[in-house]
Amino acid sequence: MLGPVKSALHRPSGLPVLALLLAAAACAVTACSGPGGQAGPAVPTPPAAEAALCRALHAQLPATVDGLKRRATDPASDLTAAWGDGVRITLRCGVPKPELLKRRPDADSVDVDDVGWLPERQSDGSVRCTTVRRSAWVEVTLPRKVVGDAGDISALTDLSGAVRRTIPEGIIS
């Protein structure tokens, strides 16, 4: 059911070493990684109405997800959240519509506690799950150590209640 999402990183040949060093320095200056050297989830930039829903969701998020404790994100934002150290579950609210739904509006989704989620296996073995039929797109990334080879997304049960209470059903483009 969850096929790998194909992604390839290509380094253009002949890229000067200086450009690579400058990019690494820029990353360090702009805090590309959070505490412990882990990159924080990228902060989305949704329209104001969706951002307001995301702030309401942020206030309702649980202290633990799948037994992992909530932790601060870097950068701090009401649009992102994370649980766990080392193995991290991340949430981003107000993200754009998933590319898969743009190509296939009828893509298979699953309901977890009355919230529809579109699961997509990533190349690193994690599963990115994005809400469907809600007034804001909420994206949760479950690492491979959480989902295993079978793609177990049961950790979403810890998040679905907060989504259901704060992000009303609706269709957005």
Domain ranges of the chain: 38-166
How does the average pLDDT of the chain come out, rounded?
82
CB 153 within 8 A of CB 129: yes
- Name, in order, each residue with C-beta under 8 angstroms of 9's C-beta and a sequence gap of 6 or more: none
The model's confidence at residue 19, banded by pLDDT at 50, 70 and 90, is: very low
- Name, in order, each residue with C-beta under 8 angstroms of 17's C-beta and a sequence gap of 6 or more: none
**Considering the chain, what percentage of its residues have pLDDT values greater than 70?**
77
Q: What is the pTM of this model?
A: 0.77
Least confident among 6-20, 70-84, 93-107, 153-167? 6-20
Per-residue pLDDT reduced to its tens digit, 94-119: 999 999 999 999 999 999 999 999 99
Query: CB-side exposure of 155: number of CA atoms within 13 Å?
Result: 30
Residue 7 has pLDDT above 90, yes or no: no
In whole angstroms, give the CA distance from residue 169 to residue 49.
14
Average pLDDT over residues 58-86: 96
Residue 74 has pLDDT above 80, yes or no: yes
